[in-house]
Amino acid sequence: MRKQVLSLTETAAARIRHLLDQRRRSFLKLGVKARGCNGLSYTLNYADEKGKFDELVEDKGVKILIDPKALMHVIGTEMDFVDDKLRSEFIFVNPNSAGQCGCGESFMTISSSEAAKRGGGSRT
Amino acid sequence: MTSSSRSLIRRLSPYFSARIRLNSRLLSSSSALRESQLSSSESPSPSTDAVHMTDNCVRRIKELQAEEASKKLLRLSIEAGGCSGFQYNFALDDKTNNDDRIFEKDGVKLVVDNISFDFVKGATVDYVEELIRSAFQVSTNPSAVGGCSCKSSFMVK
């Protein structure tokens, strides 16, 4: 059985289900962008159709699209949702992450750090 | 009254009334300043010396207060850490301490302890709501230079 690229906790799946139902959109799309103090940070947007090279992940009854540029960086990640009075946010537990900035928003993976050493040319 | 003195009065009265208006404005502004200094503890009047809140921040604090039995305050403090030296920490608190600075807007209070205040003079606290997260954030801080772009860590001038 093929190992999931991305897994969701029950709380994350429930939250995503709620967001998609509320807005009546089809998918959430996970991506990464270069910013933050330590390489990359996650982006999350609504999407209505699957792009040609997007990876579709279905877990706990919820569909997530992964941007092809992000795929290598998020393999094996578990997406969770924490909700306390002061903040509510999606968090990503990423085994590829070699370091993280204090707030956890920005992370670096082995592949992105090597790319940065090579001169940042292949930075996504 | 002679006509010349009547016309003199007519000529001079606009100056007098303007002066009286200016004086009353000065008097009322200085008394308001004294009043604000007496009523709220150490709430400074110049805006570069206060910590501000956006309307969304106030709205969110009111929502949180509605859920709690006791009246909660939002406390902003600074701790060492993060990728740029210092990071902000938000918490809900019940009480203020003697060395706290309290900023009030629309009936909600933001509390900063005296030591942290030096690092956030003139800053603005916002409540940012995005798909990926909803959280309190210090959106601008003139006391900080540089800082990480996720806005949780910063350096001081």
Write the pLDDT tens digit of every residue in B64-121: 998 887 888 999 999 887 666 788 899 999 999 999 999 999 999 999 999 999 889 9
The pLDDT value recorded for residue A94 is 86
Nearest-CB residue to A101 (from B82, B132, B135): B82
What does the alpha-carbon distance between residue A111 and residue A96 come to, in Å, rounded to a whole number?
A: 9
Tell me the residue type at A96: N
Interchain proximity B131–A37, CB inside 8 Å: no
Task: Tell me the whole-structure pTM to 2 decimals.
Answer: 0.68
Chain B residue with minimal CA distance to A85?
B64
Contact B126, B54 (CB under 8 A): yes
Nearest-CB residue to B83 (from A19, A86, A101): A101
The pLDDT value recorded for residue A101 is 58
Give the residue with greater pLDDT, B110 vs B19: B110
Give all strands (DSSP E) within chain A, no chain letters.
6-8, 27-34, 40-47, 55-59, 62-66, 77-83, 87-93, 97-100, 106-109
Residue ranges in chain A modelled with pLDDT below 50: 1, 119-124
Please, what is the Cα angle at B112 between B78 and B155, to 5 degrees? 30
The pLDDT value recorded for residue B147 is 57
pLDDT band of residue B1 (cuts 50, 70, 90) is: low
Chain B residue with minimal CA distance to A34?
B149
